[in-house]
Structure 1
């Protein structure tokens, strides 16, 4: 009794408890991904669901993202007399930063919230408890397929955002800022390298993993009835955004320190 009261009085006890619970769920998902039987049908259904709710918003968001990056960097390069490097600057910014972040926002905001609401509704209806009584592991049956689907769709969306963003940035630079089409593409191909695409894909994998696990954790532990599920959905989106932005800063810093820039 004294241990519980002292832990509850510690200001960060709840935060550390949630971090430990999410970490345990990460490990459980990792183990469940290699256990048999694998829920292939559920994985395909969840992948289709994630794609259906995120592909159109992602395509629509990626166009202004690419345009804003190209316009801003194009204006800056014009001021310093380096307009020929607009393609390289905007292309690398889109591939390394904009594409994973747009993917993270849509996967967490659209897909992750739906996962949290679905699992949370099952929890308050005591379906999760019923599965455990019947000897069915809810982590392997419900969480693992959704997390793997989030990772799979995040990688696909990341590639789509890169392509659409590059096309949008190219179009706005050429049509609005009177940029040279050949210089835009040549500068990007001269400075871009394969690790740029690799780090973008790694970010997408981690973003999908984090978004899926956090959404599932909040759905498994709602407080109260339907209102608690709604609060859990809001919490999952906010927590996921904070964690993903932190991961982006760390990965970008590591990448810039480890991978040397390509010289033109």
Structure 2
């Protein structure tokens, strides 16, 4: 079931997303599912502001990120390990050992994926943050990814790599071709989901997710089967919705 919130701009979208999750992050021993990319950055700023102004503590919080590029060392400026530390972890009091990011720079990514899934299954994620790709992917689950997938290795599509080239100085050759990602079934185990999308380039994916048929051609359409999904959009991202 989708609860749809439409706001005028990105700042309002970020504030609205935080309003949905603030009671969860303030509870003892919350388990958070976190995402990377431009969509959640404003939400993370709201979490940092709340931590600094209201004293909300993350010392007992556990977090699991969705994905990571394969082949980038943790220290790479575009690794999701670096992204999460620069945009959130360095600014709150979460313990390093409780902030889980998949390990993509390793000799055996398949083994790393299985170990990550095994650790994830020890917890119940209270709330999962998602963005959405212009082709309807969530995490790095590209079109065609099975709905029953768990944490796995995914070959990135040309479209995803083109979309992400902006983070690599516009050079698609610098964008990794593989990623380790939570699967669609892994994501669906979360108790509550917030999906954030802004911009006209996301409008068709949002329409397909909410109003289209449930199909692996639009991986995000699996969310039609979840009983608690809040979708926070700006007017451009919502522009193709018929309702």
TM-score grouping bracket, smaller chain normalisation: under 0.3
Give TM-score, length-normalised by structure 2: 0.25
TM-score w.r.t. the length of structure 1 is 0.24
| Structure having the larger proportion of residues in strand | 2
Higher relative contact order (CA 8 A, sep 6+): 1
Structure 1 or 2, whichever has the larger Rg, is 1
